[in-house]
């Protein structure tokens, strides 16, 4: 896809910011300590990056899905954990609000997200309801002007730092998915507590934990949309979220390719650069070709979503499935080219390899994407 000057500028803005503000030394420190620098968070805020997709009337940049994936890809090419902060605000955090919030809710929650004053969390997954999101067991019982929430959400990205969470709970267990409703819940509400900060394989620096709900009382004004419409809200949100995950994986895959090329050109064996061996050069050619195929599929899917094209949701799932699976293979090959050095933490590829793995799990596993795609195709 040939990008217009506007979108090329968006790419350059993200690339220049990442390369200037997120040096490798900072990334190593984040990975070692698990602490994300407040100074970097503030720079993201000051540049308005938490509001890329948020409408201008609510303090955002008003960007479309193509702008969003271009931006996330370039950030992730340098720092995947930073891309998670940015995409968390622009997709799963703001998506449910854009889909169903009242003007009052948008002012109270969406504007502060765009301004970097509040960080959101998307709380759908439960210990017994991951891929089977409709099987969630959290409950929301009406009590006058309030709802009383009970349950446990798990693997919630950003929960320990979130100011509020979009909580999905059943208001009517007899209706299955149609009995799920969504609520905007401030994290300082009595009855909310957190599980342990999970010790993850990658994206260290973005904390993840359970959210525990014990008789949490929220006013009816916290209901997001209508009762029973929560599952639809979540699925619409995940369409855009899947584009973001694919963009994140694509950025890391590009970084893996660059690391492999650099290593292959400098590492010598048997009296020559390993890049001069056909086996290595062909691996690099295959990786680059796969990345370009991923890029075309992702950008096209974003445009289809922007134009509300028929089957846009299916194409988002296709992009998520193909790009994340391909990116993981590229990371594998890049590490293989490094040989034993790739297994050592002194080399960047080791961290990239750990970080990228989660993308086939985030926001619907690869197998869930296959279900979505096949159902759409076979119903025709």
Q: What CATH number should be reported for the domain whose range is 120-228?
A: 2.40.110.10
Could you read off the pLDDT tens digit of each residue along the chain, which spans 380 residues?
Answer: 899 999 999 999 999 999 999 999 999 999 999 999 999 999 999 999 999 999 999 999 999 999 999 999 999 999 999 999 999 999 999 999 999 999 999 999 999 999 999 999 999 999 999 889 899 999 999 999 999 999 999 999 999 999 999 999 999 999 999 999 999 999 999 999 999 999 999 999 999 999 999 999 999 999 999 999 999 999 999 988 999 999 999 999 999 999 999 999 999 999 999 999 999 999 999 999 999 999 999 999 999 999 999 999 999 999 999 999 999 999 999 999 999 999 999 999 999 999 999 999 999 999 999 999 999 999 86
Long-range own/partner contacts, residues 339-346 (CB < 8 A, 24 or more apart): 339/267, 341/263
Q: Confirm whether 363 is a catalytic residue.
A: yes
- Residue 239 pLDDT: 86
Cα distance between residue 260 and residue 254, in whole Å = 10
User: Which residue ranges does the chain devote to CATH 1.20.140.10?
Assistant: 232-378
- Pairing verdict, β 120-123 and 164-170: parallel
Total residue count of the chain as it appears in this document: 380
Question: What CATH superfamily classification does 232-378 receive?
Answer: Butyryl-CoA Dehydrogenase, subunit A, domain 3 (1.20.140.10)
Catalytic residue among 259, 350, 363, 376: 363
Q: Six-digit token pair at 204?
A: 């260290």
User: Which residue ranges does the chain devote to CATH 1.10.540.10?
Assistant: 5-114
Spatial contact of 221 and 147, defined as CB atoms under 8 Å apart:
no
Fold classification of 5-114 is: Butyryl-Coa Dehydrogenase, subunit A; domain 1 (1.10.540)
């Amino acid at each position: 896809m040939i990008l217009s000057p506007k979108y090329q500028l968006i790419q350059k803005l993200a690339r220049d910011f990442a390369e200037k503000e997120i040096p490798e030394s900072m990334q190593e420190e984040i990975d070692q300590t698990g602490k994300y620098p407040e100074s970097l968070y503030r720079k993201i805020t000051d540049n308005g990056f938490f509001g890329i997709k948020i409408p201008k009337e609510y303090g955002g940049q008003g960007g479309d899905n193509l702008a969003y994936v271009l931006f996330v890809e370039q950030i992730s090419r340098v720092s995947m954990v930073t891309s998670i902060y940015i995409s968390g605000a622009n997709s799963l955090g703001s998506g449910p609000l854009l889909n169903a919030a009242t003007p009052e809710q948008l002012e109270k929650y969406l504007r502060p997200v765009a301004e970097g004053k509040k960080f959101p969390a998307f709380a759908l997954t439960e210990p017994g309801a991951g891929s089977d999101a409709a099987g969630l067991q959290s409950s929301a019982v009406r009590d006058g002007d309030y709802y009383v929430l009970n349950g446990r959400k798990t693997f919630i990205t950003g929960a320990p730092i979130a100011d509020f969470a979009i909580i999905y709970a059943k208001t009517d267990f007899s209706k299955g998915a149609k009995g799920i409703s969504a609520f905007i819940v401030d994290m300082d509400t009595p009855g909310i507590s957190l599980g342990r900060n999970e010790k993850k394989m990658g994206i260290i620096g973005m904390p993840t934990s359970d959210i525990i709900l014990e008789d949490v009382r929220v006013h009816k004004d916290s209901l997001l949309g209508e009762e029973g419409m929560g599952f639809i809200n979540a699925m619409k949100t995940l369409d855009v979220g899947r584009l973001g995950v694919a963009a994140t994986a694509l950025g890391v895959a590009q970084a893996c390719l660059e690391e492999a090329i650099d290593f292959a050109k400098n590492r010598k064996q048997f009296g020559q650069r390993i890049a001069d061996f056909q086996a290595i050069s062909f691996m690099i050619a295959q990786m680059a070709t796969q990345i370009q195929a991923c890029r075309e599929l992702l950008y096209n899917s974003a445009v289809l979503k922007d134009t509300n094209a028929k089957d846009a949701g299916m194409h988002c799932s296709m992009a998520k499935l193909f790009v994340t699976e391909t990116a993981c293979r590229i990371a594998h090959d890049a590490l293989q080219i490094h040989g034993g050095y790739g297994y050592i933490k002194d080399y960047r590829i080791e961290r990239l390899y750990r970080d990228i793995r989660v993308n086939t799990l985030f926001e619907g596993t690869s197998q869930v994407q296959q279900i979505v795609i096949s159902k759409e195709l076979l119903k025709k």
